[in-house]
Amino acid sequence: MNEKKSGTLYGVGVGPGDPDLLTLKAARLIENAKVLAYPSPEGSESFARSIVARHIIPDGCEEIDMPVPMKAERFAAQSVYDEGAERIVAHLSAGQDVVVLCEGDPFFYGSFMYLHNRLSDKFNVEIVSGVSSLVACAGRLAQPLAGRNDVLTVLPGPMDDEALEERLSLGGSFVIIKVGRHLPRIRALLERKGMLANAGYVERATLPSEKVLPLADVDESCVPYFSMILIYEGGEAWKK
Amino acid sequence: MNEKKSGTLYGVGVGPGDPDLLTLKAARLIENAKVLAYPSPEGSESFARSIVARHIIPDGCEEIDMPVPMKAERFAAQSVYDEGAERIVAHLSAGQDVVVLCEGDPFFYGSFMYLHNRLSDKFNVEIVSGVSSLVACAGRLAQPLAGRNDVLTVLPGPMDDEALEERLSLGGSFVIIKVGRHLPRIRALLERKGMLANAGYVERATLPSEKVLPLADVDESCVPYFSMILIYEGGEAWKK
């Protein structure tokens, strides 16, 4: 260890897509950043970076791109975070703060946790929470997520039918995330359970390419990964 | 119906408490608002208004305060929203937009739903999502909410033990909201289930009066309503 004070790692949520849903704090941190880091789908532009592009001072900072292979096994993706963490460590150790851009919120199903796991033991980490896709999708659907003493359950689309059904049977409000190619299976399950009529669908919330419609009406041939199903059931279903 | 176009009702999330966690969009709407509405605990300052006070132009707008009785039955509180809705309707009908300030996010356990229920059939409503207390508490605890294919369940503290236990037994990540006076009972339940060691506690996240500590260390004599218990369990517990 040298005597120099290490930099701080900022995990900064940039919101769901609309650049105006950035927080004041995130905007200021990005405008003043000397080092910015972000993941990107290998070969494509970083979505997180595109949301905040107007706040990045041209030639004002070094950028660390972490190109995540999209269809790879977990191991390959993890090696990208290993390499990214190594580059970030070099800056932190030299006393330089690093701002990591995170889609939505850093701790709501975000890849920031891979960096957090690698670095939070050794460096000061500050989280700047952002508008999560969870609340953004509810807002665009114009439907509350949950109120009063409702239970709200977030279920990942890749869960198998048995596990999904066990949760759905308990009642309350539900959000199914990462729907993508699982849509036909999940929609059939919800129909069997009599829950289809109350199910809304949102993809790419708050972006110009956004789609908001009843789940029953979705064309299942092209459902992106960034899609959600929301089922709102008021009435505190846990009270039997 | 007259010919005049009605105003838009904006449900604007103002985030968990730190004024810097306001979104750019919310700040702009508040700065330009001609009519602002917000709930407040009867006899006290509105928390939502206090978060955004610096963006309110002095004498620049009319303010509609909805003083919610704190220990009243539901009926009394609902009559406050009836009256608030009536005042809001007068402006909307006259073609004036109304900005309603909502703690956190408007659709995540917020009282905005009471106005939404009363007005969304008749007027154009736009939701401006905010940083929810859910993600803010996780950020302050420096602990992910959920990742990969984890299930995340949000449970209100007033739920009875049997209903809580049924959910907790299914595994995954949990957030227990509205803890307040229920803390001793919930803590005892988590201890019985062997979940106390992984439980973090956050009150008044991102405010100067914030407290963040292990649930095991909380002094149960003074737990405010705005408090959460977070239990993070990675590992996709639904895979049996």
Mean pLDDT across the stretch B204-223? Answer: 95
Q: Does A2 have pLDDT greater than 50?
A: no
Q: What is the 3-state secondary structure (H, E, C) of chain B?
A: CCCCCCCEEEEEECECCCHHHCEHHHHHHHHCCCEEEEEEECCCCCHHHHHHHHHCCCCCCEEEEEEECCCCCHHHHHHHHHHHHHHHHHHHHCCCCEEEEECECCCECCCHHHHHHHHCCCCEEEEECCCCHHHHHHHHHCCCCECCCCCEEEEECCCCHHHHHHHHCCCCEEEEECCHHHHHHHHHHHHHCCCHHHEEEEECCCCCCCEEEEHHHCCCCCCCCCEEEEECCCCCCCCC
Distance of residue A90 Cα from the nearest chain B Cα, in angstroms: 22
Q: Does B82 have pLDDT greater than 90?
A: yes
Q: What is the pLDDT of residue B2?
A: 47
Distance of residue B155 Cα from the nearest chain A Cα, in angstroms: 5
List, in sequence order, every beta strand (DSSP E) within chain A: 8-13, 35-41, 62-68, 98-102, 124-128, 152-156, 173-177, 199-203, 211-214, 227-231
- What's the CA gap between A68 and A91, in Å, rounded? 21
- By the CB < 8 Å criterion, does A105 face chain B? yes
Q: What is the pLDDT of residue B59?
A: 86
- By the CB < 8 Å criterion, does B152 face chain A? yes
> Residue A104 in 3-state DSSP?
strand
Q: Does the predicted interface ipTM exceed a cut of 0.90?
A: yes
Q: Does A114 have pLDDT greater than 90?
A: yes
Partners of residue A105 in chain B, C-beta under 8 Å: 131, 135, 138-139
- By the CB < 8 Å criterion, does A142 face chain B? yes
Q: Does A102 have pLDDT greater than 50?
A: yes
- What's the CA gap between A223 and A221, in Å, rounded? 6
Domain ranges of chain B: 8-131, 134-231
Q: What is the mean pLDDT of chain A?
A: 93
The shortest CB-CB distance from A142 to any of B125, B145, B160 is to B125
Q: Does B91 have pLDDT greater than 60?
A: yes
The CATH T-level fold of domain A8-131 is Cobalt-precorrin-4 Transmethylase; domain 1 (3.40.1010)
Mean pLDDT across the stretch A94-123? Answer: 96
- Residue A174's nearest CA partner among A129, A142, A134, A222 is A134
The CATH T-level fold of domain B134-231 is 3.30.950
Mean pLDDT across the stretch B111-134? Answer: 96
- By the CB < 8 Å criterion, does A143 face chain B? yes
Q: What is the pLDDT of residue B226?
A: 84
Partners of residue A54 in chain B, C-beta under 8 Å: none
> Residue A99 in 3-state DSSP?
strand
Residue % of chain B over a pLDDT of 70: 93
- By the CB < 8 Å criterion, does A123 face chain B? no
The shortest CB-CB distance from A23 to any of B11, B21, B148 is to B21
Q: Does A177 have pLDDT greater than 90?
A: yes
- By the CB < 8 Å criterion, does B171 face chain A? no
Task: Flag if B19 and A22 touch (Cβ within 8 Å).
Answer: no
Q: What is the pLDDT of residue A240?
A: 52
The answer, as to whether pTM is greater than 0.90, is yes
- By the CB < 8 Å criterion, does A128 face chain B? yes
DSSP state letter for A22? S
